Homo-oligomer: A and B are copies of this chain.
Amino acid sequence: MPRTYSIAELARECGVTTRAIRFYEDQGMLSPLRDGQRRIYRPRDRTRLKLILRGKRLGFPLAEVREIIDLYDAPQGEDAQLHRLLAKIADRHRELEAKREDIEASLQELDAVADTCRDRLAELECGDRGGRRVKKPRRAAR
């Protein structure tokens, strides 16, 4: 048999509280086995938890996270179902790429500020006391 985890183990490994994990279960996002009262998490539960947390890091509300991870283990069903599934996947795809573009824009602007910042530092450190201007070398585009 594969391997199992206690709730505390999972919590430690994933950097969340046990409360949070139970909460996700309440929301129908996890369904661990039971040994009497105790929850037993299998690798697939662990994977789902990690997916949940990744969704959260990306700013999706839990309700959406659930829809997303439900996509992951759904590719059964008949024709119409599969087409609906593909449509949903395409939606999420677009959503994620929009987010990626947001990130890339942010990174660029951040880099621009960093450049400005380094230019200022260069001015200061070469003992520039007056209004003399330093030639700003164009940074190579990454």
Contact = CB atoms under 8 A, between A and B. Distances in A.
A43 interface: no
A114 interface: yes
Interface string A95-128: 0111110111111011101101110110011000
Interface string A49-66: 000001011111000000
A42 B71 CA distance: 44
Nearest to A117: B75
A73 B32 CA distance: 49
Chain A interface residue count: which class? 35 or more
A14 interface: no
- Number of copies of chain A assembled together: 2
Q: Is the interface of A mostly helix, strand, loop or mixed?
A: helix
A75 B110 contact: no
Contact of A117 (B86, B103, B107): B86
B102 A100 contact: no
A44 interface: no
A121 B77 CA distance: 10
Interface of A: 54, 56-60, 68, 71-72, 74-76, 78-79, 82-83, 85-86, 89-90, 92-93, 96-100, 102-107, 109-111, 113-114, 116-118, 120-121, 124-125
